[in-house]
Structure 1
Amino acid sequence: MFLFWFTLLLSITISASPTNTAIISSRLSYTQKHGTNYTVFTHAPTGAILEFVNNSGICETTPNVNQYSGYLSVGEGLNMFFWFFESRHTPAKAPLAAWFNGGPGCSSMIGLFQENGPCHFPLHGDTDNPVLNPYSFNEVANMLYIDQPVGVGFSYADDGNGENGGNVNSTDSAAGYVWVFLQAFFEAFHGYEGRNVAIFTESYGGHYGPSFASHIKAQNELIRNGALKGEVINLVALGINNAWIDTAIQEKSYIDFAFNNTYRSLISESQRDNYLSVYEEICLPAVTNCMETETDEPCRFANRICSSRIEGPISRAADFNVYDIRKPRNDDEPPSTYMSYLNREDVRRKIGARGSTFRECAGGVTLDFGKTGDNAKTLLPTLSQLIESGLQVLLWAGDADWICNWIGNLDVANAVAFNGAEEFRGKELVPYSVDGVEKGRVKSVGGFTFMRVFGAGHEVPYYQPETSLQVFRQVLEGKGVYST
C-alpha cells in the first residue's frame, strides 16, 4: 500500500442531491451506463462532467444519511472516482473532509474500508459484507473519498493508455486535477460552498497533502484577485498521519527506528553503524544534489541509491511487517477483505464503479512517479509555508510503523520553519489522553501539532479508532488538540 507502495479531508456539508436551483450555468441530466442509472452534472466553467449514483445503500446504512458515488471527468477521457458520505449528525452544518490515500498509486478505498469510513470488515467478522463503523469520520464531517490520480482504484482513462491515462507523474501535476474535481463538486453540491474544508491523508500524502493545500490556496488568491473564475475553497486544516515528506531526514529515521524503538530492535548495533555510514557517505549527498537541482534524473538516482542501500536491506533484515513491526512480514492486518467485496459485480454496479477489476494499488502510477524522482523531492518548504500562513496542520504517526515512522515524522516536525519553530523544537512531548487513558504524546505551537500515537501501525485509524476520531474532531473544531 504505502500507503508507501513504493508507499484529505475536505470540510463541507449538505443533505440533498444537486437540483436545478443549485446549478449555475451548468446542466443536469440523467443517463444509464452498464446497467447503472447516473445523475449527470456538467460544470460549465471547466467542462468537467460529474456522473453519480444517489444513495446506493452500500456501506453507509445509517437511516437518513445520504451518500453519492461515481465519476468526475477531470479532462478529456479522464474519469476520477469518488464516494461521498454525509455526516451522520447535522450534515447541513458539518464541515467537509476529503481523504486521500498515498502510494503513490493507492486507492482511497483503503481509508474508507480499513480506516475511517462508515463501514469496515472486522478482522474476525463476516467476510461477505461490511458492518457499520461507529468511529467513522462521518460522525463529525461530511466525508469525500477520491481515487487519484487517474488509473488508481476505480479511476480510469477512456483511451486505454495504461493505468495513468492522465499523464500524472508527480505530486505537483496531480494537484491541478484535484482542484478541478473540487470546483465541479462544489457547484454540483451547491449547499457545501463556503464550508470549512480540511484535507486528511497519510503516507505519500506527506507529498500530496502539502502540494494540494498549497495549490488550493494559490488558486484562491487568483480567484479573489479576479484573475481566475472559480469557487474559493475555505481550507482550514491539513492532517497527515505517518507521512513521507522529506527524504534527507526520513532516510536516517529508517536506521534510528530500526535499532531503537518501543517494540523490538530490527538491526544490531554494528548494522546500525554501517547503515549510518552509508547514509552519510552515499545517500545524503545524492538527496542533497536532488534538492539543489530539483530535476528528475538526480532525484531518480537519489531515490534508487537510498532505497537499494538502506530501505531495502533493512526491510529484509528480520521477519517484520514494514507497516507494523509487531507483526510478521506477510500478516494480513488490517484485513484485505474489502478488495473481494469491491470486486463483486453487484457492488460495483450499485455504487456506479466501472471496470471489471478493483486493485488496491496501481503499479503503473507508482512507476510513473518514480521516473520523475518525485519520492526524493522534499515537501518540507511547502509544509513550512502552509504553517506560516496560519493553516492548522497536524502531523501524527502510529509508533509501530517503520515505513513512515514516528521518529522521522518528529524530526520533520522539528525541522519546519515558521515563526514559532524555536518554541516548537524546545517543547517536550506530553501525554495525550482519551477519557483519562493515555493514548499518545503530543506537542503544539499555534496551529501546528505533532502527535505520536501509541500501539498503532501505519493506518492509525484502524488501530486506534477512538483516539483518531477524537483527534479528527478536535482538529475540525479549530481549538487545538487536548486530552479528555
Structure 2
Amino acid sequence: MNFIVQSVYLFIVFIILHLTTIEDAAKDPIYNIVSSNLCDPNVRQYSGYIKINQYTNVFFWFFESRNNPKTSPLTLWLTGGPGCSSMVGLFHEIGPCRPSDGGINIKERPESWNEVSNLLFIDQPVDSGFSFGDKLVSTTGHTSLDLYTFLQRFFEKFPEYSKMNFHIFGDSYAGHYIPSIAKLIDENNILIKSNYLKAIPIKLRSIGIGNGWIDPKTTLKSYPDYLEFNSYGPKLNSSELAMMRSELPECLQLVDNCYTTGTLTDCVLIEDHCIVDTSKYLSFFKNSGLNPFDIRTTADLPHEYTFYLAKPEIMAAIGAQKNYTDCSDDIFQRFYYQGDLVRSYKSAIEYLLNKEFPVLLYHGDADFICNWFSGRELANALIWPFQSEFKDAPTEQWIVHNKPAGEIKSFDKLKFVRIYGAGHEAPFYQPVNSLEMFSKWINNEAK
C-alpha cells in the first residue's frame, strides 16, 4: 500500500491543483450554458462553456439520443488536428445536422450517431473552435488533464449523464487524444475506488478511433506501399516510389532516435524531415497534387458549416463568445515544437486492451495520411493476451444492406474495420455504413 501511495502521490496532487477549487468557482462561475433547438430540434441539447480553471473556457455542444436517451450510452467525440474543432465531427461526420444551401443553413442528418447514443462534442485544446483562454497547452498529456477536468465539471452539472456507459470516439490526431484520456480515466477510477482521489467515476466502456494518428513510425513505414498497392491504383510512378523508399530508412532511424533520447531536438527533427507535408519524404506525394485525405481527388472537402457558425444569431443561440476557428495553426505549431506529433500512443491502447476495454480501429480506405495499411499493421502489432489469436483471425467481408461495405478483422476486445469508398473522415463519405458499424459496436461488442 505504501508503494501505491508513493507512486501516485505527486499525480494526485497535480490533479487536485488542476481542478478549480470551490472558492475560485464562487468568484468565477464555472458554467455558462444555454439550451437551443438548433441542429436537432426534437432532442434536448445544451451548449456553451465550462470553465476548467480561471484561464480556460471550453466550448461544448451536447445532444441527447433520438431514441431512449435515458438508456442510451454517452459518446464523447474528439476531432484531431492537433487544433481542429469538434464541430468538424458534428457537421461533417456524425452530428444531428449538416450544412445546406452552401453553408447558410442546415438540415437533418438521418444517419447521425445520436440515433443510438447521446453525443458530446468538445472544442479542445483551448483556442480551437469556440473555446478560448490564456492557459494554452502544447502536449497530448496536458490536453488529457484539461479534458478530465471538463468531464468532471460536466458530470457535476449533469449528474444524470455520469451514470451512462461512456464511449470515446474521434479521428485523425484523436489517435493521440483518445488513448491518453481513456487511460487517465481508468487510472483515476482506480484511485477513486481506493479513496485516493475524490472525483466522479466515469463509466468508460470502449474507445473507437477512425483513421488515427496513433503510432507515427508504423504510419510513416506504410506510405510507399499504400501509394503503390492501394485499391485505387498506384499514385506515384516507379521512380518516385523508389526514391520515397530510399528515404524511409533515415525516417525510421530518426523516429528511433526520438524515442531513445526523448529530446525535443531529436523529436522535432523527425517532424521536419518526415512528417510535415514540406518534408523531403512526403515531397513526392505533395507534388502529385492529390488530396492526402482522399487520394481519389485533388479537391478538399468544403467546410461550408463555417458560414453557419459565423452568423451572430447562431453564435448567440449556442452561447458562443468568440469567433469560430475551424483549425488553429497556433495550436498545431505548439504541439509541433514540443515534439508531440511523433509520440506514439500504441502502449496506451495496449494498456486498455490488457484492462479488457474494447478497442475499435476503423479506416476509410481512400485516406493516405492515416491509411488503412498502417492501421492493419498496428492492430496486428498490439501486445496483449490475444495478439496471436487476432493476427490469425480471418478477414471477413462486411455487408450492409446486401452490399459490400468493407472488411472486418476481430478477436475478443479488438476490432479492425476497413471502410470501402471513404476518405479520412469516414462517416462523411459512408454515413449509413458508419452508423451501422457504430450501432453494432455500442450495442454488442462494447456493452
Say which SS state the counterpart of residue 257 (structure 2) adopts.
helix
> Could you tell me how far apart the structure 2 residues matched to 1:143 and 1:50 are?
19
2:233 matched residue in structure 1: 264
What's the TM-score, normalizing by structure 2? 0.91
Pair 1:436-2:416 in alignment: no
Of 32, 51, 60 in structure 2, the residue corresponding to residue 51 of structure 1 is: 32
Say which SS state the counterpart of residue 178 (structure 1) adopts.
helix
Task: Please give the per-residue CA displacement for 1:152-176, whole angstroms capped at 9, x wherever unaligned.
Answer: 010001xxxxxxx323111111001
Pair 1:343-2:310 in alignment: yes
Paired letter, 1:388: N
Of 76, 81, 96 in structure 2, the residue corresponding to residue 103 of structure 1 is: 81
> Could you tell me how far apart the structure 1 residues matched to 2:70 and 2:444 are?
19
1:131 matched residue in structure 2: 107
Paired letter, 1:459: E
Q: 1:51: Cα distance to partner?
A: 1.3
Pair 1:279-2:245 in alignment: no
Pair 1:405-2:386 in alignment: no
- Closer/same/farther in 2, CA of residues 118 and 43 from structure 1, 3 Å limit: farther
Pair 1:72-2:47 in alignment: no
> Could you tell me how far apart the structure 2 residues matched to 1:182 and 1:319 are?
41
Say which SS state the counterpart of residue 121 (structure 1) adopts.
strand
Pair 1:323-2:290 in alignment: no
Paired letter, 2:269: F
Of 319, 336, 339 in structure 2, the residue corresponding to residue 373 of structure 1 is: 339
Percent of pairs with identical residues: 37
Moved more, 451-460 or 405-414: 405-414
Q: 1:264: Cα distance to partner?
A: 2.7
Q: 1:428: Cα distance to partner?
A: 3.4
Paired letter, 1:352: G
Moved more, 144-153 or 430-439: 430-439
Q: 1:408: Cα distance to partner?
A: 1.1
Paired letter, 2:177: Y
Say which SS state the counterpart of residue 321 (structure 1) adopts.
coil
> Could you tell me how far apart the structure 1 residues matched to 2:357 and 2:22 are?
31
Q: Write out aligned runs for 1:197-276 (5 A).
A: 197-276=166-245
Contact 1:294 1:377 in 2 (8 A): no
Of 408, 417, 421 in structure 1, the residue corresponding to residue 383 of structure 2 is: 417
1:19 matched residue in structure 2: none
> Could you tell me how far apart the structure 1 residues matched to 2:38 and 2:425 are?
23
Contact 1:43 1:49 in 2 (8 A): no
1:300 matched residue in structure 2: 268
Paired letter, 1:60: D
> Could you tell me how far apart the structure 1 residues matched to 2:24 and 2:97 are?
33
2:428 matched residue in structure 1: 462
1:394 matched residue in structure 2: 360
> Could you tell me how far apart the structure 2 residues matched to 1:67 and 1:266 are?
44
> Could you tell me how far apart the structure 2 residues matched to 1:440 and 1:479 are?
18
Gaps of 5+ in 1: 1-41, 158-164
Q: 1:358: Cα distance to partner?
A: 1.3
Contact 2:205 2:446 in 1 (8 A): no
Q: 1:426: Cα distance to partner?
A: 2.1
- Closer/same/farther in 2, CA of residues 174 and 275 from structure 1, 3 Å limit: same
Task: Please give the per-residue CA displacement for 1:287-320, whole angstroms capped at 9, x wherever unaligned.
Answer: 0011122332211111111135455313323131
Q: Write out aligned runs for 1:161-180 (5 A).
A: 165-180=134-149
Contact 1:297 1:372 in 2 (8 A): no
Contact 2:364 2:423 in 1 (8 A): yes
Q: 1:71: Cα distance to partner?
A: 0.4
Paired letter, 2:193: R
Q: 1:284: Cα distance to partner?
A: 0.7
- Closer/same/farther in 2, CA of residues 212 and 86 from structure 1, 3 Å limit: same
Gaps of 5+ in 2: 1-19
> Could you tell me how far apart the structure 1 residues matched to 2:224 and 2:218 are?
11
Structure with the bigger percentage of helix: 2
Say which SS state the counterpart of residue 478 (structure 1) adopts.
helix
- Closer/same/farther in 2, CA of residues 345 and 227 from structure 1, 3 Å limit: same
Q: 1:473: Cα distance to partner?
A: 1.1
> Could you tell me how far apart the structure 2 residues matched to 1:474 and 1:44 are?
41
> Could you tell me how far apart the structure 2 residues matched to 1:44 and 1:311 are?
51
Q: Write out aligned runs for 1:190-201 (5 A).
A: 190-201=159-170
Paired letter, 2:41: T
Paired letter, 2:315: R
2:8 matched residue in structure 1: none
> Could you tell me how far apart the structure 2 residues matched to 1:256 and 1:60 are?
43
Contact 2:77 2:169 in 1 (8 A): yes
Contact 1:113 1:120 in 2 (8 A): yes
C-alpha RMSD over aligned residues: 1.7
> Could you tell me how far apart the structure 2 residues matched to 1:387 and 1:177 are?
24
> Could you tell me how far apart the structure 1 residues matched to 2:50 and 2:271 are?
33
> Could you tell me how far apart the structure 2 residues matched to 1:46 and 1:100 are?
28
